[in-house]
A and B are shown apart, each in its own frame.
Chain A
Amino acid sequence: DGGITQSPKYLFRKEGQNVTLSCEQNLNHDAMYWYRQDPGQGLRLIYYSQIVNDFQKGDIAEGYSVSREKKESFPLTVTSAQKNPTAFYLCASSIWADPEAFFGQGTRLTVV
């Protein structure tokens, strides 16, 4: 059963700590993406990766970091430099240059 899996579903972090969100896909997609969603706002692109060992900043990359060591995995680290980390984070994957992508179920991060 192909799909994209994000974990954990809920995550709590103390202010000043880094935290890593997991995203795994078995769709054999080259491209993967991270979005942030805040209440009443559209999705905003954090980072994307076209291929293994390559990634590009999106519109709101400050305070985040990513890696792409495997085709299936694209973890996102929310660093202590991110001023407002509390949000719903969505990972997606697609065939590169295809305008449609598949989304994971999201991780809700709360900074306490």
Chain B
Amino acid sequence: GESVGLHLPTLSVQEGDNSIINCAYSNSASDYFIWYKQESGKGPQFIIDIRSNMDKRQGQRVTVLLNKTVKHLSLQIAATQPGDSAVYFCAENKDTGFQKLVFGTGTRLLVSP
């Protein structure tokens, strides 16, 4: 995998603001994308997914947008709460099966009260 630095990109927001976390993916042939949330010292938790035949998908307080033209994925969190503070990973799947997922390096979201 790609070598990356030790410091994660960080997004700092105030409680109640909307957050937008961005992710650039590498393979135009990828047909499935997932966002995971990882709190400190814990395993990643599934947030939302989207297939390449969609541009947008909404969940509870979260929306994922997919722009295939520029290979860009974003996660929008509405009314961000302190409990949303975590590292957020995007992952792309070029083939069937979880073992084919390619994970990004993550973005740290810090929410201030």
Using CB atoms and an 8 Å cutoff, list the residues of chain A in contact with chain B: 6, 31, 33, 39-45, 48, 56, 58-59, 90, 92, 94, 96-106, 108
B98 to A103, Cβ gap below 8 A? no
A43 to B42, CA, bound (A): 13
Listed in ascending order, the chain B residues whose CB lies under 8 Å from chain A are: 1, 4-8, 32, 34, 41-46, 49, 89, 91, 93, 96-99, 101-106
| Cross-chain contact of B97 among A40, A43, A59, A96 (Cβ < 8 A) | A96
Sample of 9 more A-B contacts, CB < 8 Å, known A41-B1, A43-B44? A31-B98, A43-B89, A43-B103, A97-B97, A99-B101, A100-B49, A100-B98, A105-B41, A106-B41
Q: Report how far A90 CA is from B44 CA in the complex, Å.
A: 9
Closest residue on chain B to residue A49 by CB atoms: B99
Q: Report the Cα distance A32→B46, complex, angstroms.
A: 16
Most A C-beta atoms less than 10 A away, residue of B6, B44, B102, B104? B44
